[in-house]
Amino acid sequence: MSDQVNKFLGDSLGRTLIKLLVVSLIVGFIMAVFGLAPLDFVYGVRDFVLEVWRRGFSALGRVGDYLLLGATIVIPIFLIIRLFSYRR
């Protein structure tokens, strides 16, 4: 069982805990210097998802326009590449 835990953690349990404590201290200090709080990240992710949700449905209306615009470039290039590779 101990070998499986060590394999999962990448090191012994004690050394992994010490590493996590040190990294947590450094990250906490950096976040405090920049005035960040953990809930700022939670609210940021929530706001990001809500904004994508709101804008996503309006973007779906433009999918056909994007498809035609991209096809005017992609299809001729595809045909040219296929024609040159067909001669070989």
Check if the beta carbon of residue 13 is closer than 8 Å to that of residue 6.
yes
Report pTM. 0.48
Residue 84: band (very low, low, confident or very high) from pLDDT cuts 50, 70, 90: confident
Distance, in Å, from the CA atom of 83 to the CA atom of 75, rounded to the nearest integer, reads: 12
- Contacts with 13 (C-beta within 8 Å, 6 or more apart), sequence order: 5, 6
Which pLDDT tens digit goes with each residue over 1-24?
A: 677 777 777 788 888 889 989 999
